[in-house]
Amino acid sequence: MRTVYVNGQWLPEDQATVSVFDRGFLMADGVYEVTTVIDGKLVDFQGHVARLERSLAELDMPSPAKADELLALHREIVARNGVVQGRVYLQVTRGNPGDRDFTFPDPAKTAPTLVMFTQMAAAPEDSAEAKRGLKVIAIPDIRWHRRDIKTVQLLYPSMGKMMAKKAGADDAWFIEDGLVTEGTSNNAWIVRGGKLVTRGLSHDILHGITRAAVLRYAAEAQLQVEERSFTLTEAQAADEAFVTSASAFVMPVVEIDGVPLCGGRPGPVATRLREIYLEESRKTAI
């Protein structure tokens, strides 16, 4: 049984609860972060905390703890649960004002709710998915227009994964105005003539921490990168495709909406970037 953190307390997971009046439950009034653990250490923790602080600020939500306190809590939850490979989920909501009301509660009277829990994962090198590559379908992006804020409103991404499953695929890419925005829970990339292409940052996509890391490593490896939008048709004609996220790292995509890429196998650029990403993450994890 896992030990989870709820508002200052360490509890067995079956005894951890939040109020029925919590705004996370009633209004999806909450944000979250997922930090990967490799070899018992936190990958890109600074990036995740910076994005958490930005998400909170954009929603006028009080911060539950300072960055150094959050780091200590992350380390403690990893240690308490003996996580070697896995991830730490951190969920923050606007708390429990004691009743249901659309207006935000006074932050002086209602403290945010802070919950943390861990998940175990296989070692990244053992990922069968990475060896096989993902099949993605294309679905319309009908999410709200502040996708840069990492909110807990994950219903449509959840539906997208179900649509993918039903279609015999692994995941879905969102399409808006004919252009790929991102995956249900990852950033989308294509490779054309040795050049990496991924959509630029705006309110249209989540500013992926893994995306930023891959951009840094690509520059170090002297790979050319274009941060621009691309159409579904361009993606289907690309040499390779892949997605990035804290949980999936760099994950090859081998089929887009029924069209196979790279002979239906993970491409060399995606495979190499996955290796570089894992190697660098191991080096820089804290």
Nearer CB in complex with ligand PMP: 237/285? 285
Q: Is 259 helix (H, G, I), strand (E, B) or coil?
A: strand
Nearer CB in complex with ligand PMP: 96/244? 244
Active site residue 161: no
The distance of closest approach from Cβ of residue 108 to ligand PMP in the complex, given in angstroms and rounded to an integer, is 31
The distance of closest approach from Cβ of residue 185 to ligand PMP in the complex, given in angstroms and rounded to an integer, is 4
The distance of closest approach from Cβ of residue 187 to ligand PMP in the complex, given in angstroms and rounded to an integer, is 5
The distance of closest approach from Cβ of residue 47 to ligand PMP in the complex, given in angstroms and rounded to an integer, is 7
Nearer CB in complex with ligand PMP: 42/206? 206
Nearer CB in complex with ligand PMP: 113/244? 244
C-alpha distances in Å from residue 194, one per residue of 141, 212, 232, 270: 28, 19, 19, 11
Distance of alpha carbon 116 from alpha carbon 125, whole angstroms: 26
Residues forming contacts to ligand PMP in the complex (CB under 6 A) are 34, 182, 185-187, 206, 208-211, 244-246
Closest CA to 284 of 15, 28, 68, 42: 42
229's tokens = 């939008």
Distance of alpha carbon 95 from alpha carbon 97, whole angstroms: 6
Indicate which residue of 150, 166, 195, 283 is catalytic: 150
Q: Do strands 187-192 and 240-245 pair parallel, antiparallel, or not at all (unpaired)?
A: antiparallel
Q: Do strands 113-120 and 86-93 pair parallel, antiparallel, or not at all (unpaired)?
A: antiparallel
> Could you tell me if 139 and 163 are in contact, meaning their C-beta atoms sit under 8 angstroms apart?
yes
Residues annotated as part of the active site: 150
